């Protein structure tokens, strides 16, 4: 395939670029925690303002974690695993367990017959109409923006990530317990320094901002009206990557904080491309630049999309159901 030749030059990891990204991300994040601590002595509001910035840096830390999980951040697997564990501790995410679930997401994205792991719960119109009233209620609650972007991120990182998937292998399950131990030790150290009240005042908003931003990014990368979904027999990897993963064109500052992950069509085409090479790869050929972008404004439309309509092959809102009712 043509795209395989194009992306080959961009999947090479760069140790200097990776190290610099760690320095310009983790050092400011640590400094922000110290500044938030000092700000607490002056004003809680000032500390909360700084926590917004810290939350954005935590998103960038997660992208480093994400790249380590794909084995793309460093050339060395040992370096990827080591940095992956450290950044996983900062983001409350078990490294090997998440890596396993995320690999399933990449191999099943856009496949209607293989939904359910590492994705956002999505029903087809037919499935919703055939569902019980209880299931419909639960689905509507789960897809409510307040639940999806405010409550779900905290539940995901504070609770869900603490429990291994029963289908996970022994190593993945053990990674959850080791990460729980690491997170506990990190929190204990911060509480010893700050006290538990100040720790919670600073940690929860920082994690909340990062979680909301992260879930929104993941949501809009695969939940837009012209997204790609097909039955397994008709599913195609390249189409799922280029049509089922968005090009989210963000302002440069947000692109930096999100680690270029808005070039998600490139990432799904070849997850071995590190985040610091995604934009260059995107700009290298018209096969990529011809992908229509989503912007901050146009992406807001995704908030109203709830169901996959197999007839029109588009994501639709609940209002679409009214058109299906007999007159």
Domain assignments of the chain as residue spans, ordered by start = 2-324
pLDDT of amino acid 325: 61
Q: What is the pLDDT of residues 193-247, one digit of tens each?
A: 999 999 999 999 999 999 999 999 999 999 999 999 999 999 999 899 989 999 9
pLDDT of amino acid 327: 45
Q: What is the pLDDT of residues 45-87, one digit of tens each?
A: 999 999 999 999 999 999 999 999 999 999 999 999 999 999 9
Contact 87, 64 (CB under 8 A): yes
The model's pTM is 0.94
Contact 180, 161 (CB under 8 A): no
Q: How far is CA 199 from CA 25, 50, 56, 58, 154, in A?
A: 21, 14, 18, 16, 16
DSSP string, 99-121: HHHHHHHHHHTTBGGG-SSSS--
Q: How far is CA 294 from CA 159, 212, 291, in A?
A: 32, 19, 10
pLDDT of amino acid 285: 87
The DSSP letter of residue 150 is I
What residue ranges of the chain have pLDDT lower than 70?
1, 325-327
Strand partners, 152: none
pLDDT of amino acid 324: 72
pLDDT of amino acid 255: 97
Distance of CA 96 to the CA centre of its chain: 16
Place of tokens 């790869």: 281
């Amino acid at each position: 395939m043509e795209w395989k030749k194009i992306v080959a030059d961009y999947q090479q990891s760069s140790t200097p670029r990776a190290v610099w990204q760690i320095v310009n991300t983790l050092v400011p994040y640590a400094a922000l925690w110290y500044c938030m601590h000092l700000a607490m002595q002056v004003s809680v509001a000032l500390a909360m303002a700084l926590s917004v910035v810290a939350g954005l840096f935590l998103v960038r830390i997660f992208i480093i974690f994400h790249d380590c999980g794909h084995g793309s951040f460093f050339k060395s697997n040992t370096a990827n695993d080591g940095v992956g564990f450290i950044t996983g501790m900062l983001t409350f995410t078990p490294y090997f367990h998440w890596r396993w679930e995320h690999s399933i997401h990449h191999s099943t994205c856009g496949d209607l017959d293989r939904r359910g792991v590492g994705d956002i719960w999505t029903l087809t119109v037919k499935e919703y109409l055939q569902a019980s009233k209880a299931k419909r209620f639960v689905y509507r609650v789960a897809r409510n923006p307040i639940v999806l972007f405010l409550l779900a991120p905290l539940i995901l990182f504070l609770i869900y990530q603490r429990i291994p998937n029963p289908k996970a292998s022994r190593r993945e399950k053990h990674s959850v317990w080791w990460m729980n131990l690491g997170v506990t030790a990190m929190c204990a150290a911060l509480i010893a320094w700050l006290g538990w009240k100040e720790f919670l005042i600073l940690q929860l908003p920082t994690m909340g901002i990062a979680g909301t931003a992260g879930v929104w990014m993941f949501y809009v990368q695969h939940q837009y009206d012209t997204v790609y979904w097909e039955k397994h027999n008709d599913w195609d990897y390249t189409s799922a990557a280029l049509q089922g993963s968005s090009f989210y064109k963000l302002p440069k500052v947000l692109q930096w904080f999100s680690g270029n992950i808005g070039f998600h069509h490139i990432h799904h085409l070849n997850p071995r491309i590190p985040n610091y090479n995604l934009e260059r790869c995107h700009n290298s050929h018209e096969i990529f630049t011809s992908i229509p972008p989503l912007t901050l404004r146009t992406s807001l439309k995704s908030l109203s999309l709830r169901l996959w309509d197999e007839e029109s092959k588009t994501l639709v809102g609940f209002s679409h159901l009214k058109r299906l009712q007999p007159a």
